[in-house]
Structure 1
Amino acid sequence: MTETKISRRNVLLGVGGAAVFTAAGGGAGYAIANTDGKSPEASAAAAPAPAKFRSRPDLRTLPDVTITTPAAATAPGYIYLTPASGTGLWGPLIVDDKGSPVWFRKVPDPATVAIDFKVQQYQNKPVLTWWEGTIGGTGGQGVGQGEFVITDANYREITRVRAAGSEQADQHDFVITPNDTALFWIYDPIPYDLTSAGGPADGVLHDGVLQEIDIRTGRRLFEWRARDHVSLAESYAPLPGGESAHLPYDYFHANSVGLDADGNILISARHTWTTYKINKRTGDVMWRIGGKKSDFTVDEKSKFSWQHDFRRRRDGSYSVFDNGAGVTKEREESRGLIFKIDETARTVSFVSEFLHPSKLSAPTQGSFRELADGGSFIGWGQMPYFTEYAPDGTVRLDGHLPLDNQSYRAYKAEWPGVPLDQPALGLHVDGSNVIVSVSWNGSTKVSKWRARAGGQPGALTQSAEADRTGFETTLTLPGTPEYVVAEALDDTGKVLGTSSAIPVRV
């Protein structure tokens, strides 16, 4: 098990005038105050783009999340996204049902991205997990090289899970099992004779390697290789050609892993249009659904292609995010698909589908998950939308990232976030008032904010309160006190955290 120490750094930014603040890693405590004394013209010329949040100017390029279909009642919990765009501000992001940020952590530079951010259970406690690394690939298909991060409810890193051997973990899925082991994929490029598929004899194949790792020790417990069980003839993906003929052929493209009710393994392979059940003990393929070698007769409405995120649901049915588009376009719209299987009759029968009101087609990525109350939640992958459905299939919440973004998956779940740093505080003087901007990255318990002010840090007799209004809440203090402190309150009025005492300088 490893722990990373969070380094401290001093950063100089302009907020109104120049503003000095101290940042402590991803869950930073910030204190912002007007401190420069330069002319307004000189300060304006030196200042960067306006901050989105006065208390957290470092989040100036955090993408906005728009809710287009709000609902009076939704499943409890927060929404988990990994925005990716040209801004370079990549990282795991939690937002609420109004689209307001709850927690964000920028992943390290250079060129590192975060993927597949979600809540799981480890050692019987809720944790956050995501993948960090770099993504490349051929033919527009993302292949990752990186590792998985696990943090506790205080946002402290518990450990990082790495692949056993010389390879690095792929980003497509990370599942913590009830035995505190981890299941994930590796894309292993190996020399391979591709003549059977029309390629070169000295070609390269991307083998889909599934590993199970004991999280505490890092020991490999299980390994499964696609090439030992799935032939190249099952693939719908074209071979690399021309000058790219010797790049790896991604014939399988594994993109999800999970457990069936009997403990055996469920996987999805996008490029074979097939979902598989794997014997956890022997590694044998127990059955295939879809594709060229399906062991089941699949009814017309249950046929899927270029799919992601194959899961068993609580009622015994199965679900998949049916992209319906990829290298080719097989359907006009992507969808969440639910079907039932009859293992005796070897049939697959349609149960229901979930479409987006705007008839979205997502050629890559995507997720479809069952919610705790029986509803469903879809992340539309390459299309930067997410949608929550009631159990009867009606849309009860819909939203999106900026249209130049995407999020590989999107999830919804409850989360007890309790950051260990201090709340962030930003101050600026407006006429005869002090405007106090407060936030606390990651706290899910704050109901109200209180600003206390006075002539000395130990003599703060003036106060103002306001209900929390999203990531950042603004309070107004009349007059020009010398010092201000912000206090985060829960719904009973208990103080959860207190900022540093910040001087007010005009």
Structure 2
Amino acid sequence: MTDRSTSKPGVSRRTMLLGSAAAAAVAGGGGYLLGRSESPPVQESAAAPSPAAAKYRSRPDLNGLPDVTITTPGRGTAPGHVFLTPFAGALRGPLIVDEKGSPVWFRKVPDPATVAIDFKAQRYRGKPVLTWWEGTIGGTGGQGVGQGEFVVVDQAYREITRIRAAGTEQADQHDLLITAEGTALFWVYDPVPYDLTSLGGPADGVLHDGVLQEIDIATGRLILEWRARDHVGLDESYAPLPQGASAHLPYDYLHPNSVSLDADGHLLFSARHTWGLYKVHRRTGAVLWRIGGKRSDLRVDERSAFSWQHDFQRRRDGGYSIFDNGAGITTERDYSRGLIFSVDEKARTVTFVAEHVHPQRLSAPTQGNFRELADGGTFIGWGQQPHFTEHDADGTVRLAGHLPRDNQSYRAYKAEWAGVARDQPALGLRVEGDSVIASASWNGHTGVARWRARAGGRPGALSTAVEAERAGFETELTLAGVPEYVVVDALDETGQVIGSSSAIPVRV
């Protein structure tokens, strides 16, 4: 492993993101209220259904959000929200939903990025943050290689920084780990000239080298860099060489897709195309052991055998887990699974512990993740299949949901998150007969328990009020009569006003 003490300039997404992409990916106002407003007498609002044509009247810009369906309602689930990155449709970006599938927060990826990937909650400098990758995906032999950068935002969804690869290359999308030291670990797919004649390829071929970088987030300084071709042989790969007219495309022999830390601080990563899991010395870069593939250093029992896998993680009980796709360029297993196994480094053995399977025994040839939850349960994103599940420790499904069939999320996570939006609540109005329906929402604010709508003849004299419990992303309140102006207030669990919309005139 190379120790770097000098800073290399980052590469801006805005100037470089689209420059070398091989293919495109698949497809309220400002201000907020402090304190409590004068509260007129309230009555409970009756629910009023919206016409199907307008999913969110308060935020029509979000009407294209894909529906998230919960098929197994959560019972005894771990607290938290679900984190997704829809790939398809007009609205692609990081999406948080609750256990009913209702949106909590969404942000569309800006141009020139085409998708967001690997959206999750982490900690940076001791504080909760959200991170995701945004960029464009290029095709290499049918496998996705990303060119982009990672975004870090705080609890108010304000951008703290963007994490960019050192040098001229751009960060790959597969994983980002923020360490306790304030550094970021992630992969770069670096195309380098390479003689591939030993494998039957061209002498002037191109190899996609897997480059693991560690960057100091605050300064962008490159701290460590590890190059796979110095440690992992091309003969370990199960991926075929590009052929014919594609022979000079980069050979993606490794396809690393995760990075994490073992309990002793050394590096763990998964390489899909070698069917290998690797433990790497964090200082020297030496491969301490391989699990799986053609050169496994440890003996793997039959039930622990895996292929085309993702997301290699150490568990709190000392075991390890992966998302075992079981399918990819070839099909080795008729269903994918979350796999847990133990490692005995002294005996050099890998022993099966448990597997978690989707009730439909889904097979996901690409993508996916498998993560331990704080209560001992697990959460699985089924990758190419648009599903996610939460499991008890014994594998029983306690929550299941999915995106539409024509969509997918590279990974899916569950985590607790407290967001405090800094814009105003949004308000949409429509007149139905002798009533006004107020539609209220506040994208990303997790502290709203109830909504109150106030109405009257002018903004400073709103004497009529109704209240309703928050009912998903958007809540509707019915006001009798047709007033001149309406305002909605967001209330917390104690009834305090935590934000108010602008006064909106009612147009008949």
TM-score (norm 2): 0.90
Report what 1:138 is aligned to. 140
Q: Deviations over 1:361-402 (max 9, x none)?
A: 000000000001110000000000000001121100000000
Report what 1:61 is aligned to. 64
Deviation of the 1:198 alpha carbon:
1.2
SS in 1 for 2:258: strand
Q: Deviations over 1:119-140 (max 9, x none)?
A: 0000100000000101002221
Distance in 2 (alpha carbons) for counterparts of 1:436 and 1:72: 32
Report what 2:73 is aligned to. 70
Are 1:333 and 2:335 an aligned pair? yes
**Which segments of 5 or more consecutive residues in structure 1 lack a partner in the other structure?**
5-21, 28-48
SS in 1 for 2:61: helix
The answer to whether the 8 A contact 1:306-1:325 is kept is yes
Report what 1:464 is aligned to. 466
Are 1:126 and 2:128 an aligned pair? yes
Report what 1:494 is aligned to. 496
Report what 2:399 is aligned to. 397
- Work out the percentage of aligned pairs sharing the same amino acid: 74
Report what 1:104 is aligned to. 106
Match of 1:253 among 252, 255, 261: 255
Match of 1:84 among 87, 91, 94: 87
- Aligned Cα RMSD in Å? 1.6
- Letter paired with 2:65: L
Report what 1:202 is aligned to. 204
Distance in 1 (alpha carbons) for counterparts of 2:324 and 2:241: 23
Deviation of the 1:112 alpha carbon:
1.7
**Which segments of 5 or more consecutive residues in structure 2 lack a partner in the other structure?**
1-9, 13-27, 33-51
SS in 1 for 2:143: coil
Report what 1:483 is aligned to. 485
SS in 1 for 2:389: strand
Distance in 2 (alpha carbons) for counterparts of 1:297 and 1:111: 43
- Letter paired with 2:69: T
The answer to whether the 8 A contact 1:308-1:367 is kept is yes
Larger RCO, structures 1/2 (Cα 8 Å, 6+ apart): 2
Change (3 A) 1:191 1:208: same
The answer to whether the 8 A contact 1:51-1:58 is kept is no
The answer to whether the 8 A contact 1:51-1:59 is kept is no
- Letter paired with 1:208: G
Change (3 A) 1:205 1:134: same
SS in 1 for 2:140: coil
Are 1:358 and 2:398 an aligned pair? no
Distance in 2 (alpha carbons) for counterparts of 1:136 and 1:79: 27
Distance in 2 (alpha carbons) for counterparts of 1:23 and 1:485: 13
Give 1:342-421 correspondences, 5 Å limit: 342-421=344-423
Q: How many residues in Structure 1 have an aligned counterpart in Structure 2?
A: 465
Deviation of the 1:60 alpha carbon:
1.4
Distance in 2 (alpha carbons) for counterparts of 1:205 and 1:72: 48
Match of 1:93 among 95, 116, 125: 95
The answer to whether the 8 A contact 2:80-2:416 is kept is yes
Deviation of the 1:209 alpha carbon:
0.2
Q: Deviations over 1:55-99 (max 9, x none)?
A: 0101111000000011232100000000011x2311000000000
Are 1:451 and 2:446 an aligned pair? no
Deviation of the 1:24 alpha carbon:
6.9
SS in 1 for 2:248: coil
Deviation of the 1:197 alpha carbon:
1.2
Are 1:232 and 2:211 an aligned pair? no
Report what 2:25 is aligned to. none
Deviation of the 1:496 alpha carbon:
1.0
Q: Deviations over 1:139-197 (max 9, x none)?
A: 21000000000000000000000001111000000000010100000000000000111
Deviation of the 1:23 alpha carbon:
6.2
Distance in 1 (alpha carbons) for counterparts of 2:200 and 2:96: 46
Distance in 1 (alpha carbons) for counterparts of 2:161 and 2:482: 46
SS in 1 for 2:486: strand
- Letter paired with 1:419: A
Deviation of the 1:109 alpha carbon:
2.4
Are 1:50 and 2:53 an aligned pair? yes
Give 1:10-25 correspondences, 5 Å limit: none
Change (3 A) 1:24 1:91: farther
- Letter paired with 1:209: V
Match of 1:182 among 169, 181, 184: 184
